[in-house]
């Protein structure tokens, strides 16, 4: 008579299967707090225990029919812990008499073929693989499980939502707290190309608006160059309405102004000026001495 697997092994397998199936079909990990999930778990455990109890009854009945020697052997085997026996069974070799029983009758050249049973662990893995494949395919075709596009969409939405949240909670820089950062130059160049290039020309060389690469400035309301540019773009020029108040008018945000100010600082301080000889506009205003 065979030893049966203990009930906790069945319960552990059921729990694993339930987790996998819920994870695939429900998708959200919130199922762990759902009463349906725990309801299924409790019902499955009760069923497993009933199944095991019925198994006990059958086992008792069969036990009575055994001879005394078989009974003793069975009780002896039962003392070996389940996992130890399982491990040992993976390496069990048949005896010479057992080998005779499974010998297939077409040996050749002294080589014999045995009709061995497949190892249990191998069969177990095989059946698990087959069942898992079916469950996986059903969930793939009937739910959103493991679809790259769906996952991408969900992640994309989460990312944009978190960016929107960040922007909402981060007030745009003002002239008081804006800071120069080389990281903003590239973004500032884009703002410049869209909003400023029509008057200030490519690279800030100057046209309708003054040359922004030289050291001559008409307007010098602030002490540092970066803040001076911020001020001009925020408030516009008091003398010439052509240079509109991009910030006050709501055309550009504080972030845009911080970026474009970094760009102007960069072309003014970190690059050689575009002189008249190189196609730049002639200096306008008075030479500036900016504080650091």
- The answer to whether 24 and 136 are in contact (CB under 8 A) is yes
The CB-of-192 to ligand HEC minimum distance in angstroms stands at 6
The CB-of-170 to ligand HEC minimum distance in angstroms stands at 21
Closer residue to ligand HEC in complex, CB, 22/217: 217
Kindly give, in sequence order, each residue whose CB lies less than 8 Å from that of residue 171, ignoring residues fewer than 6 positions away.
254
- The answer to whether 268 and 225 are in contact (CB under 8 A) is yes
Tokens of 153: 């969409």
Closer residue to ligand HEC in complex, CB, 131/251: 251
- The answer to whether 178 and 257 are in contact (CB under 8 A) is yes
The CB-of-160 to ligand HEC minimum distance in angstroms stands at 26
Tokens of 51: 């199944």
Closer residue to ligand HEC in complex, CB, 139/236: 236
Q: In angstroms, rounded to a whole number, what is the distance separating the alpha carbons of residues 150 and 28?
A: 13
- The answer to whether 207 and 196 are in contact (CB under 8 A) is no
The CB-of-240 to ligand HEC minimum distance in angstroms stands at 4
The CB-of-191 to ligand HEC minimum distance in angstroms stands at 6
Give contact residues for ligand HEC (rule: CB under 6 A). Answer: 195-196, 198-200, 208-210, 212, 217-219, 229, 232-233, 237, 239-240, 242-243, 246, 260, 264, 284-285
Radius of gyration of the chain (CA): 40
Longest distance between any two alpha carbons in the chain, whole Å:
117
Other CB atoms within 10 A of residue 57 CB: 9
Closer residue to ligand HEC in complex, CB, 18/245: 245
Closer residue to ligand HEC in complex, CB, 163/242: 242
């Amino acid at each position: 008579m065979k030893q049966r697997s203990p009930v906790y092994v069945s319960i552990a397998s059921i729990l694993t299967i339930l987790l996998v199936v819920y994870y695939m079909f429900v998708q959200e990990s919130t199922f762990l707090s759902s009463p349906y999930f725990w309801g299924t778990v409790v019902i499955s455990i009760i069923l497993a225990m009933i199944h095991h109890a019925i198994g006990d009854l059958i086992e008792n009945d069969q036990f009575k029919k055994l001879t005394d020697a078989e009974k003793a052997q069975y009780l002896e085997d039962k003392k070996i812990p389940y996992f130890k026996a399982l491990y040992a069974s993976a390496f069990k070799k048949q005896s010479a008499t057992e080998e005779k029983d499974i010998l297939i009758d077409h040996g050749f050249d002294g080589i014999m073929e045995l009709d061995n049973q497949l190892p249990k662990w191998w069969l177990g893995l095989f059946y698990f693989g087959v069942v898992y494949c079916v469950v996986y395919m059903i969930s793939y075709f009937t739910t959103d499980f493991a679809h790259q596009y769906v996952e991408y969409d969900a992640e994309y939405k989460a990312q944009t939502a978190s960016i929107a949240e960040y922007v909402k909670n981060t007030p745009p820089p003002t002239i008081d707290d804006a800071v120069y950062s080389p990281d903003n130059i590239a973004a500032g160049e884009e703002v410049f190309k869209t909003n400023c290039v029509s008057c200030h020309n490519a690279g800030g060389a100057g046209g309708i608006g003054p040359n922004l690469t030289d050291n001559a400035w008409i307007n010098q309301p602030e002490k540092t160059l970066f803040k001076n540019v911020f001020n001009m773009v925020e408030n516009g020029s008091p003398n010439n309405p052509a240079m509109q108040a991009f910030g006050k008018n709501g055309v550009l945000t504080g972030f845009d102004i911080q970026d474009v100010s970094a760009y102007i600082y960069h072309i003014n301080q970190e690059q050689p000026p575009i002189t008249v000889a190189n196609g730049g506009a002639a200096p306008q205003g008075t030479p500036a001495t900016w504080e650091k």
